[in-house]
Structure 1
Amino acid sequence: MTDAVYRDTWRRHTQRQGLTIWLAWLGLVALTVWCWQIMTRDTICFFVTDAPRQAADIGSRMWPPRLSYLPELLWPLWDTLNMATLGTMLGVVLAVPVAFLAARNTTPSTLMLRPAALFLIVASRSINSLIWALLLVAIMGPGLLAGVIAIGLRSVGFIGKLLYEAIEEVDRGPVEAVTATGAGRAQVLDYAIVPQVLPAFWGISVFRWDINIRESAILGLVGAGGLGLKLQSSLNVLAWPQVTMILLVILATVVVSEWISAKVRKAII
C-alpha cells in the first residue's frame, strides 16, 4: 500500500496525460510521414542518387576561383553596399513613426492607429525582400532604385517591431516625472521616452544594416543590381570560377559587416 501511494505521488504524468502525450507524438509522426510523402511524390530518385556526383563535378569546376575577375566586382560591390545603406535609412525613416503608433504607451489611438501600424509591420515582415524587389523591378524597371526601395520596405517590419517593443518597455518613472511638471505629450516623448529608446534604436538599425548587406547581395538575381547581377550572369554562362570569386567576395563582405555591426552595437549599448 505504501509503495503504491509513493508511485502515485511521484508519477510525472497521470495515466490519461501519458496516453494523451503518446497519441500526440503518434499524430506528429503520422503528420510528418504524410507531409514527406507529399513533398517527395514528384521527386525522381535518379536525380537524388546522382546529386553527390553532380555536386562533386560542379565543385571541381568552381576551383580555383578566377582572381582576375575581382576588379570587375568592385563597382557592383559598391552598389551592393549603397543599396543596403540607403535601404536601411529608408526603412528607419518609415519605421520610426510606425513604431510609435504601434506602441501602447505612445499611440494616439489604440482602436484605429495601433492596429493599422501593427498591420503594416506584419505585412512588411511577411514579404521577403526578394519578392519586394521582383515586384518593384516589374513596376519600375531594373536598377538599384528598385533594390533600395525593396530593402527599405522589408526593413520597416523588422525595425518597427523591435522598436515598438522597446518603447513599450521603457521605465515609467521618468515618464511620470516629466508628466508631473505639466509637460505636453510631445515633451514627454522628447524628454522621457526617446532618450530611453535611443540605444535600442541605434542597435536595431545597425543590426538591420548588417542583415541588409546579405540580402542586397542577391537582389541582383531579379534585376536590382549589385553583386547579384554579376552572380546571375556568371551562372547563366556556367562560369563557375567566377561564381566562386563572387561568393568569396560576398562572404568577405558579410564577415566585415558583421564585425563592424558587433563593434558599433558594443559601443552604443
Structure 2
Amino acid sequence: MTYVIHTRAELARDVAAVPGEIAVVMTMGALHEGHRRLMREARKRSAFVIVTVFVNPLQFGPNEDFDKYPRTLEADVEACRAEGVDLVFAPSRDEIYPAGVPSITMNAGPLGEILEGASRPGHFSGMLTVVQKLLMLTRADVAFFGEKDFQQLTLIRRMARDLEIDVEIVGVPTVREPDGLAMSSRNRYLSPDDRRAALALSRALREGATHTDAEAALATARKILADEPSVRVDYLALTGPDLGEPGEEGPARLLVAARVGGTRLIDNVPLTLERAA
C-alpha cells in the first residue's frame, strides 16, 4: 500500500514509526522510467521507501520554466504504487518554506559555479537547500539520485560529506530511451524534429567516450554537435569524476548541455583516459 501525504506533521508521524532503514528518492514529479529505476534500486536496498514530489521554486531562474514545469501528481502516485513505494510526500510550497523564501540557503561553493552553475546562477544553492531540508524531514538513511544530473549528484555528495550529514548518497546510472536519448521530464517539450536533433547529444557523448585521449574525445563530440544545426551548445566539457581537472589517465566524465528548440537538455557519460604511450 502506498500512502500519499502532504504535510510535514504527517511525515514526522510516519517516519517515526519506521523501525528500520529509510530510503528516499527525491523528484520534481512528471515521473518517467528513470525515476522508476531509482525507486527499484531503493527498494532493493531498504524496507521502507519514500518518494518526494516537489517542484522547488528556489532552483529555477527568472527566465526558466517553473510555471510550465509539468505537474502530474495523480500519474506520479500511480507510478509509485506500481513500484511498491511506501510513502509519497507531496508537500505544497508553503509546507516546505513556511516563512517564504528562506533567508539562509546552502552555498554550493566553487563547484556550483561551473558548468550548470555558470549557465543557471543560483540553481545549485536552491537545489542543495531543498535536498538538505528533505533529508532532515524524511530522516533518510540512504538517498538515490540519477547520474544524468551528474553535477547535482556530485554536489549533494560533497554537501553530505562537508556538513557531516549522516546519509549515504547513491548514484544510479542514466536511463535512456531506446534511441539513446537520456530520459528527462523535459523531453515531452520536444517536437518530432527537435527530438531527432536531440539525439546528437547522446551520439556525441557515446562517440567521444570511445577515445582514451581527452582532446580526441572532445574533438569527436564537438564535431558531431556542430553538424546538427538545431542544437545550440551551452557547454561541452571533460572533467575528472569529481568535476575537477581530469588526470592524464583514469576515470573522467564527458558532459554536455544544449538547447534544442525551446528545450534545454543535459547529458553525460563516463570514460577512461589513458596516458599516451
TM-score, with structure 1 as normaliser: 0.23
Computing the radius of gyration from Cα coordinates, the structure with the larger value is 1
Structure 1 or 2: more strand by fraction: 2
Structure 1 or 2: more helix by fraction: 1
